[in-house]
Structure 1
Amino acid sequence: MVRLLIFLVVALLIASGAAWLADHPGSATIDIGDAVIEMRLGMLVLGIAIAALVLAILIELYRWLTHAPGRYRGWRRRSRELRGWQELSMGLVAAAAGDPSGLRGHARQAMKLIPTNPAVRVLTAQTALLEGREDVAEEQYKEMLDDPATELLAIRGLLTSAMRRQNYDEALDYLGLARRKHAAAPWVIQTSFDLFTRTGRWRDAITMLEDMQRLRLLEPALITRRRAVLLHMLAVDAVEHDKLREAIREGRKATDLQPGFVPAALVTSDVARRLGKSAEARKILERSWGAGPHPLIAQAYAGLVPNETPAEKLSRCQRLLDLQPNHVEAHVSLAELAINAQDWNRARELLERALQLEPTARVFRLMAEVERASGASAERVQEWLTRAVDAAPDPAWVCEGTGAVLAQWQAFGPNGQFDTLRWTTPPKVSALAGLSEPPGPMLILSESDRIQPAT
């Protein structure tokens, strides 16, 4: 719009000037030495305009010719950069597709065309990683440390490489550098948490968990569980160093957060018992049992009172059934105690109720044991054992990441990830990791409590 207005104003001025010259004819005389040139005023103005136009054309032509080499070099540079960016883009696509050969070719061409571009070094490092040449990738990352544009990315690459090699001392060095540069970055916080847990720095991991909660990187329920797991690991470390009061302090925090977290309840209850706090030990186990019955909780509860007879133990542990009257584990755990007390009628009653709830293979194995101990025929015993083979598997510690089934809880799953084990029913085809046969009754009693086969 502005250009149109300018054009109209200029056109108006030229038209006005031409009209004025037409209305005021005249002549001009130019003396050059002995020569006298006389012409009309309009022709003089026209000649001056034509001369100015020719001069302008000649100046622009001269400028175009003198700048042509520079323009050609710039065109070539832009063309190389464009082809370099195309190679870089194709390389990133190949990297995402996991195509090492395609990535290698595109990275090589990009390095030739735009060697100073920071993204090319990233692509070269990614190529080396896909080819398994971590030493080459680390060299690229170290060179990228000198460029502010790629420094943080280089730190992340070196940190990841150190953790992959399980060189945690080196990883901690790079982590400190990353935290100084960009402590609030989500990946820095997540990596810090992973590294602190792998190195057993549980309190530092709790601090990172607080940052993760503030940034909402995890669901609130998972934050609570992981805080309980970390507090439990602090309690375990305190027990290993014979610091029982510190252990029970951290254990109480863990069980308050997650009463149903079985490992914390077991350790805290055991520490309370060792400190002479029998009532607290019992309450911790009862609260955990109330949150979700577990065979190891029943085992620990059964062992709270020393020197009990099997019948006395059975009577005291009736409390577990009172707390969870409709849970299959309550009936099965009490049935095991009844078996050890040789109270066959009570054991059969409890197992028959378990069969009405959600029977697993363990229920059928225990029923076979009751039948054998009470003198039933071999065919009858075998019938129960056969049903155990076809029954649903018993609950176990299952890794959420890999699906692997473990006999015992541990802080890290088989994939090396923190807090991935959950107590649940595994797929029927799964086998317990590290076990050659399915587990038997979970309650571990003294030799005097064990039943003898019927004769």
Structure 2
Amino acid sequence: MIRVILLVLVIIALSLGGAWIADHPGSFSVDWLGWRVETSFAVALAVLVVGLVALAIVVRLLSGLVTGPKSFLRRRADRRRRRGLEAMTRGLAAVAAGDARDARKLSARAERLLDAQPLADMLAAQSAQLAEDPAEAERRWTRMLEHEETAELGLRGLAVMARRQGDGAAAVARAREALAKRPGTRWALETVFEVKLAEGDWAEAEAALTALERHKHLDREESRRRQSALEIERARADSAAGHHDDATTRARTAVKLAPGRPEAAITQVEVAIAASKLPVARKLIEQNWGAAAHPELGRLYVTLLGGNTTPTERVQRARDLAQIAPTQAESRLLVAETALDAGILGVARDSANKIAVADRDTRAERIAARAAEADGDWQSAAQAWHRAADARPAPGWICSRCNTVHTRWHAVCGSCGSFDTVSWSRPATVPAAMPATTGPAPVVGSAAATPPMDPAAPGRPPAAA
């Protein structure tokens, strides 16, 4: 709108100027080399304007003749570059879609149009990987190292290739080259961290984790949790090697970094037991029971650390520990399980039935059913077994990434290899147990330790016809 108004104003100004010149024509004369030219001022002005326009056209034509070839070549190069970038974009889309044939074809076209620019090597390397041509991919990634602007990308590609081929040492070497060029490179630190985790080199993994936190690649909470997981594994390794003081320090650090982690509390107690510090182990269980109650801690407290006690005394020890957190489901399950093993059926049934509905799972219902069977109350037993079939599954050491069930906590999942994904949790569905996982037997109170009684097992009346 403003441009229209300005155009109208210019037209009006020119019209007024023309009208004024027409009303005042004046005269214009030139004497030059014996020639004399006389005319009106308006005609002279018109001749001057036409001459300037003609001069501008001639200059433009001459300029075009001089710079035309260079401009043509530049426009042609721009068109090639646009077509090359379009081919590269489509090639990257083909790589993302998993279309190896189109990816390689577009890669060759992009390389031809872009005159073998380093980015064309990147597309060619990814296309070769997709087409399962590792030699060509490695050649392309290596060639990218010759250019400063793509050297880091080439190192990353080579590191990824090495990891896919199972060559962790080569992957770490490439990552360290990248760190030498630019300290704090996130992908390089993560590569070192993950490879060292897979190798069980906890010290190197912890050093890489510390660097990730120092360069602000991890938030404080995530860093503390990862650090806690590493400290647990290092405490176990030190304890197994007989370095009890170092193991104790690391286990204490793990609990301090993540107070609510039952695996940290269990490790701290196991380290104390391995060092023959049974009173310390008992005290640690009491200290951690409120924040990290776990069936394994209860089993250790009642049986291993209880000495040569009678079944009734073990029930009392279970009650003493449960008093630290009397309303927790694990406290009542510990009392119920211990009382059932001791044959004190009333206490077992009472403790199991006191567990809040929101906290009940198959363990509570199975204990109630077994206690009722032992007491001869077949109707209550049948009802409890029926509830157990519909109850929530019992918690276990479950990987949140692949849902594999482990009999013991590990920092690295033995099935999918992910780090710090195994936790004491309930499965949404009952997952398949991991056949190759090593560790102690299932803990007291777990679903594995109290399987439902077979309908034909002794002690259960036959079903009504």
Class of the TM-score when normalised by the shorter of the 2 chains: 0.7 to 0.9
Percent identical: 29
* Bigger mean CA offset, 54-63 vs 293-302: 54-63
Deviation at 1:177, TM superposition (A): 0.3
The aligned counterpart of 2:334 is 333
Deviation at 1:111, TM superposition (A): 1.6
The aligned counterpart of 1:95 is 95
Residues matched between the structures, number:
416
For residues 397-455 of structure 1, what are the alpha-carbon distances to aligned partners after superposition, in whole Å with 9 as ceiling and x for unaligned? 222223343333221133221101121111134343339xx9684489xxxxxxxx879
For residues 318-353 of structure 1, what are the alpha-carbon distances to aligned partners after superposition, in whole Å with 9 as ceiling and x for unaligned? 222101111111111121111221111211111121
Q: Report if the CA contact (8 A) 1:266-1:300 is conserved.
A: no
Written as runs of structure 1 = structure 2, the 5 A alignment for 1:223-234 is 223-234=223-234
Written as runs of structure 1 = structure 2, the 5 A alignment for 1:288-437 is 288-302=288-302, 303-354=304-355, 356=357, 358-377=359-378, 381-413=381-413, 414-434=415-435
The aligned counterpart of 1:110 is 110
**Change in 2 beyond 3 A, CA 1:101/1:147:** same
Written as runs of structure 1 = structure 2, the 5 A alignment for 1:56-455 is 64-65=64-65, 68-302=68-302, 303-354=304-355, 356=357, 358-377=359-378, 381-413=381-413, 414-434=415-435, 441-442=444-445
Letter in 1 for 2:223: I
Secondary structure at 2:424 match in 1: strand
For residues 51-87 of structure 1, what are the alpha-carbon distances to aligned partners after superposition, in whole Å with 9 as ceiling and x for unaligned? 9999998897676546544444333322211211111
RMSD: 3.7
Letter in 1 for 2:171: A
C-alpha distance in 2 between matches for 1:289 and 1:54 = 98
C-alpha distance in 1 between matches for 2:173 and 2:265 = 36
Letter in 1 for 2:423: R
C-alpha distance in 1 between matches for 2:287 and 2:191 = 35
**Change in 2 beyond 3 A, CA 1:260/1:388:** same
C-alpha distance in 2 between matches for 1:443 and 1:87 = 59
Secondary structure at 1:324 match in 2: coil
Secondary structure at 1:132 match in 2: coil
Q: Report if the CA contact (8 A) 2:329-2:355 is conserved.
A: yes
Letter in 1 for 2:416: N
Secondary structure at 1:397 match in 2: strand
C-alpha distance in 1 between matches for 2:32 and 2:368 = 133
Letter in 2 for 1:228: S
Letter in 2 for 1:253: T
**Change in 2 beyond 3 A, CA 1:54/1:390:** closer
Letter in 1 for 2:141: Y
Letter in 1 for 2:341: N
Letter in 2 for 1:143: R
* Bigger mean CA offset, 55-64 vs 389-398: 55-64
C-alpha distance in 2 between matches for 1:306 and 1:454 = 32
Q: Report if the CA contact (8 A) 1:91-1:107 is conserved.
A: yes
**Change in 2 beyond 3 A, CA 1:440/1:383:** farther
Q: Report if the CA contact (8 A) 1:299-1:443 is conserved.
A: no
Secondary structure at 2:115 match in 1: coil
Deviation at 1:231, TM superposition (A): 0.9
C-alpha distance in 1 between matches for 2:359 and 2:59 = 97
Secondary structure at 1:422 match in 2: strand
**Change in 2 beyond 3 A, CA 1:160/1:197:** same
Segments of 5+ residues of structure 2 without an aligned counterpart are: 1-26, 39-49, 448-457, 461-465
Deviation at 1:249, TM superposition (A): 1.7
C-alpha distance in 2 between matches for 1:454 and 1:26 = 139
C-alpha distance in 2 between matches for 1:441 and 1:207 = 37
Q: Report if the CA contact (8 A) 2:81-2:114 is conserved.
A: yes
Written as runs of structure 1 = structure 2, the 5 A alignment for 1:15-26 is 26=31
Q: Report if the CA contact (8 A) 2:235-2:250 is conserved.
A: yes
**TM-score (norm. length: structure 2):** 0.78
C-alpha distance in 1 between matches for 2:324 and 2:446 = 18
Secondary structure at 2:398 match in 1: strand
**Change in 2 beyond 3 A, CA 1:295/1:139:** same
Letter in 2 for 1:159: A
C-alpha distance in 1 between matches for 2:53 and 2:61 = 12
Q: Report if the CA contact (8 A) 2:265-2:285 is conserved.
A: yes
Secondary structure at 1:317 match in 2: helix
Secondary structure at 1:433 match in 2: coil
C-alpha distance in 2 between matches for 1:369 and 1:53 = 109
C-alpha distance in 2 between matches for 1:376 and 1:370 = 9
The aligned counterpart of 1:33 is none
Q: Report if the CA contact (8 A) 2:197-2:412 is conserved.
A: no
C-alpha distance in 2 between matches for 1:151 and 1:227 = 32
Letter in 1 for 2:267: V
**Change in 2 beyond 3 A, CA 1:429/1:267:** closer
Segments of 5+ residues of structure 1 without an aligned counterpart are: 1-20, 29-37, 43-49, 445-452
Letter in 1 for 2:118: P
Secondary structure at 1:191 match in 2: helix
The aligned counterpart of 2:42 is none
Q: Report if the CA contact (8 A) 1:298-1:443 is conserved.
A: no
C-alpha distance in 1 between matches for 2:112 and 2:133 = 21
Q: Report if the CA contact (8 A) 1:327-1:357 is conserved.
A: no
Deviation at 1:237, TM superposition (A): 1.5
For residues 282-306 of structure 1, what are the alpha-carbon distances to aligned partners after superposition, in whole Å with 9 as ceiling and x for unaligned? 2222233211321111112222133
The aligned counterpart of 1:7 is none
For residues 210-257 of structure 1, what are the alpha-carbon distances to aligned partners after superposition, in whole Å with 9 as ceiling and x for unaligned? 343344433432222211111111111212322222211211111222
**Change in 2 beyond 3 A, CA 1:338/1:73:** same
**TM-score (norm. length: structure 1):** 0.79
C-alpha distance in 2 between matches for 1:401 and 1:219 = 21
* Bigger mean CA offset, 128-137 vs 418-427: 128-137
